[in-house]
Amino acid sequence: MSAAGAGPGAMAGKVVLVTGASRGIGFCAARALTGMGARVLMVCRDRARGEQAKAAIGGDTALYLADLSSQRSLRALAAEVIAGEPRLDVLVNNAGGVNGRRELTEDGLERTFATNHLAYFLLTDLLLPLLKKSAPSLIVNVASTADRGGRIDFDDLQGERRYVGWRAYCTSKLCNAAFTFELARRLQGTGVTACAVHPGLVASNFGREGGGFLGFMSLLGRPFSLTPEQGADTVVWLASLPDAADRHGQYLSKRRPIRAGRQSYDTDVQRRLWEVSERLAGSPRER
């Protein structure tokens, strides 16, 4: 199944922001959407790698630099996008990571949780006015069925009592699903569609940077993995749909709805996670 399901020109006039666009799923999604005529805002952490990816894609692309584990950097990114772009049709929250050992960000937050969940939450919140202005628009949160191995424990949300790298990753993906469902409820009637996507097990560098057991498991699964292009397929398909509103609140893989981890459907968990995320990400903005 080709990610480039729509032809050239299908995304003409559309502006798409993709985080983690220098490699893997993010790079492939950015390349496919640019090929359909979209203006793609590539968010990358490393300038050299970002410039290299931008040159490889060509077309109407713009490079934005941000460390998504840093709330200061996220706020600067959002301000730069809002100042420089008159519209935003699609936001793809894709960048993420996994850490074998517990690390803290400059904000004093556990890095996996901060990068994989709070970055999605805060960047979406900051860009929501532009997305609403551009409606009908779309938010795609790249999640993972690894969420089934996670558990949202509000008494130890950041692994202070006990940290296991893989479990922290699974929990962050469970947060992605719960966040998407709560976001979809709150956006009902605004013209902004919110979906989550499981890309599948993708052969990329993801996981290997975590080292140790996580790196070993990443290499072990590589022969059975999808290509990054295959992993990007559902993201690109959603972004290029003439009317993605029919998928509002869905969790999709291979272009079809699937089930997320059971806890993500608990409306009390969704609401409480939202409130905790607001508190950790700073003062809530008027929605």
Element (H, E) at 229: helix 228-239
Q: Annotated catalytic residue: which of 64, 120, 169, 251?
A: 169
Verify whether residue 120 is a known catalytic residue.
Answer: no
Residue 25 in contact with residue 231, Cβ under 8 Å? Answer: yes
**What does the block give as tokens for 26?**
């993010």
- DSSP letter string, 110-141: BHHHIIIIIHHHHHHHHHHHHHHHT-SEEEEE
Neighbours of 226 (CB within 10 A): 17
> Under 8 Å CB-to-CB from 128, ≥6 apart: which residues?
192, 287
Closest by Cα among 45, 40, 42 to 70:
45
Distance CA 167, CA 174 (A): 10
Element (H, E) at 71: helix 71-84
Per-residue exposure over 271-281, b if at least 16 CB sit within 10 Å of its own CB, e if not: eebbebbeebb
Q: What are the residue numbers of the active site?
A: 169
